[in-house]
Chain A
Amino acid sequence: QSALTQPPSASGSPGQSVTISCTGTSSDVGGYNYVSWYQQHPGKAPKLMIYEVSKRPSGVPDRFSGSKSGNTASLTVSGLQAEDEADYYCSSYAGSNDYVFGTGTKVTVL
């Protein structure tokens, strides 16, 4: 049950794109298509942005997209906006009915 690895920070100017990686193992990210991504603003609860690797819940802008290759999943935010500045966490099913989150990435809009 080790945390998935994310870069501590990422940044981009308004209108640019930023991609966040989430690296696990074949026992979690690589083994299942149950990778999800969450956005968390300071002092607020997390919000689901992507589920099942690349699906967007209703109401999430299509600027947010997800993908996976092997043991690494990625979240891309295109057309960065000021309100996208937040912490982002990935999560994966890890087998045996367990789940694991990533270490978190702080996205800064320059």
Chain B
Amino acid sequence: EVQLVESGGGLVQPGGSLRLSCAASGFSFSTYWMNWVRQAPGKGLVWVSRLKSDGSSTNYVDSVKGRFTISRDNAKNTLYLQMNTLRAEDTAVYYCARGWYGSFDIWGQGTMVTVSP
């Protein structure tokens, strides 16, 4: 079964750091671009970042540039999102999603990140 499972979310203070993980299974992880998408409580989806299959190219939404870093370990079939200098507005459910023909075809169940004193 093709599956993505996120972990690493939790409660963190403003200015703090957190690393999210996304474990992939059931497909050839190393051949796909991978993405992070977030959704603040009661709000819409926001694309956050994407990473090329071999890890050589990264892109970020302006609001997280310089604070978030996307990476992957193809040997472990795992995608990561290192989040530093967290702000209240980063509070959201974070989904990892597989890139496919300009879309996101496989999604994880999401992991909740809450930034609060």
Please report A residues at the B interface, Cβ cutoff 8 Å.
Answer: 1, 3, 32-36, 38, 40, 45-48, 51-52, 55, 57, 89, 91, 93, 96-104
Would you call A104 and B45 a contact (CB within 8 A)? yes
Counting chain B CB atoms within 10 Å of each CB, the highest count among A32, A89, A97, A103 belongs to A97
Would you call B104 and A52 a contact (CB within 8 A)? no
Would you call A34 and B103 a contact (CB within 8 A)? yes
Counting chain B CB atoms within 10 Å of each CB, the highest count among A40, A47, A55, A98 belongs to A98
19 chain-A/chain-B pairs, Cβ below 8 angstroms: A1-B61, A33-B102, A36-B104, A38-B45, A38-B104, A45-B108, A45-B110, A46-B97, A48-B104, A48-B105, A52-B103, A55-B101, A57-B105, A89-B44, A97-B59, A101-B45, A102-B44, A104-B44, A104-B45
B11 within 8 A of A: no
**What would 9 more interface pairs be, CB under 8 Å, given A52-B103, A99-B50?**
A32-B102, A34-B102, A36-B102, A45-B110, A46-B107, A47-B107, A51-B103, A52-B101, A101-B46
Instruction: Encode contact with A along B39-63: 1 for CB under 8 Å, 0 otherwise.
Output: 0000011110010000001010110
Expressed in whole angstroms, the minimum distance between the Cβ of B35 and any Cβ of chain A is 8
Would you call A3 and B44 a contact (CB within 8 A)? yes
A-B CB contacts (within 8 Å), total count: 69
Residues of B within 8 A of A45 (CB): 95, 107-110
Residues of A within 8 A of B59 (CB): 96-98
Which residues of B from 82 to 117 have beta carbons under 8 Å from A? 95, 97, 100-105, 107-110
Would you call B45 and A97 a contact (CB within 8 A)? no
Distance, CA A40 to CA B43, complexed state (A): 12
Given contacts A97-B59, A101-B46, contact A46 B95 (CB under 8 A): yes
Would you call B50 and A100 a contact (CB within 8 A)? no
Distance, CA A40 to CA B102, complexed state (A): 19
Residues of A within 8 A of B100 (CB): 48, 51
Expressed in whole angstroms, the minimum distance between the Cβ of B102 and any Cβ of chain A is 3
Expressed in whole angstroms, the minimum distance between the Cβ of A107 and any Cβ of chain B is 14
